[in-house]
C-alpha cells in the first residue's frame, strides 16, 4: 500500500505569506525543539520558541527567495519573518548539511490534510532552560506529547552540548513565593535588539486617579498588586509569536515608563503615553520621541484600536531579576482551562494544550500555591451562573 502524504501549511498572521509542502504520513510526527533562551524569548515575546525541520521538496528555495524579511539572529541562523505583521515563520541554518530550513511550529495550521492527523508534531527536547533562572515554561512542558507519549529531554544549554537535566529539575536557587506581595517596584521591558527599552511599574492605588479602577480590578491582584499572567491558546497569538501557546501579562499604560527616568507619577507631559489614542499618535508622528525607539504597532483587528487605557504586553520581553516567569511581579493563572482553547479543540494541538494545562496545575500544587485571584473569581462566577 502506497504511503499517503500530508499537506503542511505555514501562514503568517496577516496572511500575506503562505507556504505549503507535503510530507509522507509515515514520516510523522515531525520532531520539534523548544528553546527557552533569553534571545528567543526577547525576539518572539513568548516564554519559549519552538521549531521543526520544514520538509520542503525544493530544499526551501521558495522561502529563501520570498519577500519575508531577514533578521540575523546569530552566526548560526537567520530568522525569516513577515514585514507587515512581524510573525516569525522560519529559520535558515546555512551551516547545516540537512534541515537548512526550520519552521516555527506556531505558524503551522491547526488542521493538516487529512484532518485525522493527531500526531503532527512531537517535542523531543527543551534547550537553554538554564537561561530562564527559574525554569520558565519548562514546568508545563514536562509532558508535551501527552501522558503516554515520550517526555522531552531537558538541557541546561545547547542540545547534546550541555548538561542534561532531570524532568523535575529546579534551579539551584530559592524561587519567590508567588502568592505573596513583593518589594520589587518595576521590571524592564526590552526586545532582543534593545530597540525597545521601557519599564513596567507595579500597580499602585494612586493610579486610580487615571480612571482605570474598573480595568485594574480584573487584571490586578488586589492583595499583591501583581498583574494577571494568562495562558492563551488562540490562533492569533500563536501565529503572531510562532509559539503554540502564548503567555500574556496585563498592564495599564499608566504603569509603563521610559527606562532611565526618575518619573514616579505617570503624566502626559513628556512621559510614556497613557492612553491608546496617545500611543498611536506618538508612534505615527513624523518627529517621534526618540525614547520610543523601534516600538511600532500593528492593528490586528478593528477591535484592537478601540481599547482605551488597557494594554497587553508580551511576556518574553520582561527582564525580571527572579527569572523568566517574573513571579515577583506577575500572578500566574496556573491550571484550569486556557483562554480561547476552543480554537484548538479537535486539532493536532489539543493534546499539547491539555498536557500543558494539567502540568501547570500540577506545578501549582507542587509549589503549594493557592489558585490565583482571577481563577478564583472565574470559578465562582461559573458556579453561581453570574
CB contact set of 353 (below 8 Å; sequence gap of 6+)? 233, 245, 338, 341, 344
Among 117, 183, 193, 128, smallest CA distance to 154 is for 128
Q: Indicate whether 209 pLDDT > 60.
A: no
- DSSP letter at 131? G
Q: What is the pLDDT of residues 231-289, one digit of tens each?
A: 999 999 999 999 999 999 888 888 899 988 655 444 445 688 888 888 889 999 989 99
> Mean of the per-residue pLDDT values for the chain?
87
Buried residues in 358-374 as b, exposed as e (16+ CB within 10 A)? bbbebbbeeeebebbbb
Q: Work out the widest C-alpha separation in the chain, in whole angstroms.
A: 72
| Contact indicator for 322, 217 with CB cutoff of 8 Å | no
CA 83 to chain centre: 19
- Mean pLDDT check: name the lowest of 129-138, 209-218, 285-294, 330-339: 209-218
DSSP letter (8 states) at residue 254: G
Residue with cell 520582561: 318
Grid cell in block for residue 57? 521538496
The H-assigned helical ranges of the chain are 38-44, 61-64, 213-219, 235-241, 276-284, 350-367, 373-384
Q: What pairs with residue 70 in β-bridges?
A: 80
Buried b (16+ CB within 10 A) or exposed e, 213-237: eebbeebbbeebbbbbbbbbbbbbb
| C-alpha cell, 21 | 509542502
Q: Does pLDDT of 206 surpass 80?
A: no
Q: How confident is the model at residue 213 (pLDDT cuts 50, 70, 90)?
A: low
Q: According to the model, what pLDDT value does residue 264 have?
A: 47
Query: CA-to-CA distance for 165 and 194, rounded, in angstroms?
Result: 31
**Among the residues of 146-268, which ranges form H helices?**
213-219, 235-241
Write out the three cell numbers for 165.
Answer: 537535566
Rg (CA), the chain: 21
Task: Give the pTM.
Answer: 0.91
Q: What pLDDT, on the 0 to 100 scale, is given for residue 15?
A: 96
Share in percent of the chain as helix, strand, coil (round to 5):
25, 25, 50
Domains of the chain: 5-165 (2.170.150.70), 186-384 (no CATH)
C-alpha span between 245 and 231 (Å, rounded): 7
Dist CA 372 CA 382 (whole Å):
16
Contacts of 48 (CB under 8 A, 6+ apart): 34, 35, 36, 40, 41, 126, 136, 137, 141, 243
343-359 average pLDDT score: 95
Q: Which three cell numbers stand for residue 313?
A: 504586553
pLDDT tier, 305 (very low <50, low <70, confident <90, very high otherwise): very low
Rounded CA separation 226/332 (Å): 9
End-to-end CA distance of the chain: 56
For residues 93 and 76, is the Cβ–Cβ distance under 8 A?
yes
Amino acid at each position: 500500500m502506497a504511503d499517503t502524504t500530508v499537506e503542511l501549511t505555514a501562514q503568517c498572521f496577516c496572511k500575506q505569506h503562505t507556504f505549503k509542502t507535503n510530507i509522507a504520513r509515515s514520516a510523522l510526527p515531525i520532531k520539534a525543539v523548544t528553546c527557552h533562551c533569553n534571545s528567543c524569548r526577547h525576539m518572539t515575546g513568548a516564554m519559549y520558541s519552538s521549531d521543526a525541520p520544514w520538509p520542503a521538496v525544493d530544499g526551501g528555495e521558495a522561502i529563501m527567495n520570498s519577500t519575508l524579511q531577514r533578521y540575523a539572529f546569530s552566526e548560526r541562523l537567520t530568522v525569516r519573518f513577515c514585514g507587515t505583521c512581524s510573525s516569525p515563520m522560519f529559520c535558515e541554518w546555512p551551516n547545516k548539511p540537512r534541515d537548512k530550513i526550520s519552521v516555527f511550529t506556531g505558524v503551522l495550521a491547526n488542521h493538516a490534510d487529512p484532518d485525522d492527523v493527531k500526531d503532527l508534531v512531537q517535542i523531543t527536547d527543551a534547550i537553554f532552560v538554564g537561561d530562564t533562572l527559574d525554569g520558565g515554561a519548562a514546568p508545563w512542558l514536562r509532558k508535551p506529547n501527552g501522558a503516554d507519549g515520550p517526555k522531552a529531554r531537558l538541557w541546561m544549554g545547547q542540545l547534546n552540548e550541555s548538561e542534561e537535566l532531570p524532568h523535575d529539575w529546579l534551579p539551584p536557587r530559592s524561587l519567590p513565593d508567588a502568592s505573596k506581595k513583593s518589594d520589587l517596584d518595576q521590571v524592564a521591558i526590552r526586545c532582543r535588539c534593545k530597540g525597545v527599552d521601557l519599564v513596567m511599574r507595579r500597580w499602585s492605588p494612586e493610579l486610580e486617579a487615571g480612571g482605570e479602577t474598573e480595568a485594574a480590578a480584573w487584571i490586578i491582584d488586589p492583595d499583591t498588586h501583581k498583574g494577571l499572567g494568562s495562558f492563551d491558546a488562540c490562533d492569533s497569538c500563536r501565529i503572531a509569536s510562532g509559539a503554540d501557546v502564548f503567555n500574556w501579562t496585563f498592564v495599564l499604560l499608566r504603569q509603563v515608563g521610559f527606562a532611565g527616568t526618575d518619573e514616579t507619577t505617570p503624566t502626559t507631559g513628556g512621559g510614556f503615553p497613557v492612553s491608546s489614542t496617545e500611543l498611536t499618535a506618538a508612534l505615527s508622528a513624523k518627529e517621534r520621541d526618540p525614547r520610543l525607539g523601534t516600538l511600532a504597532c500593528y492593528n490586528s483587528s478593528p477591535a484592537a484600536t478601540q481599547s482605551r487605557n488597557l494594554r497587553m504586553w508580551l511576556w518574553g520581553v520582561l527582564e525580571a531579576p527572579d527569572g523568566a516567569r517574573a513571579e515577583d511581579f506577575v500572578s500566574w493563572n496556573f491550571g484550569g482551562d486556557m483562554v480561547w482553547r476552543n480554537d484548538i479543540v479537535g486539532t493536532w494541538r489539543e493534546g499539547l494544550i491539555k498536557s500543558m494545562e494539567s502540568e501547570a496545575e500540577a506545578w501549582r500544587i507542587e509549589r503549594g500555591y493557592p489558585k490565583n485571584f482571577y481563577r478564583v473569581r472565574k470559578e465562582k462566577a461559573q458556579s453561581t451562573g453570574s
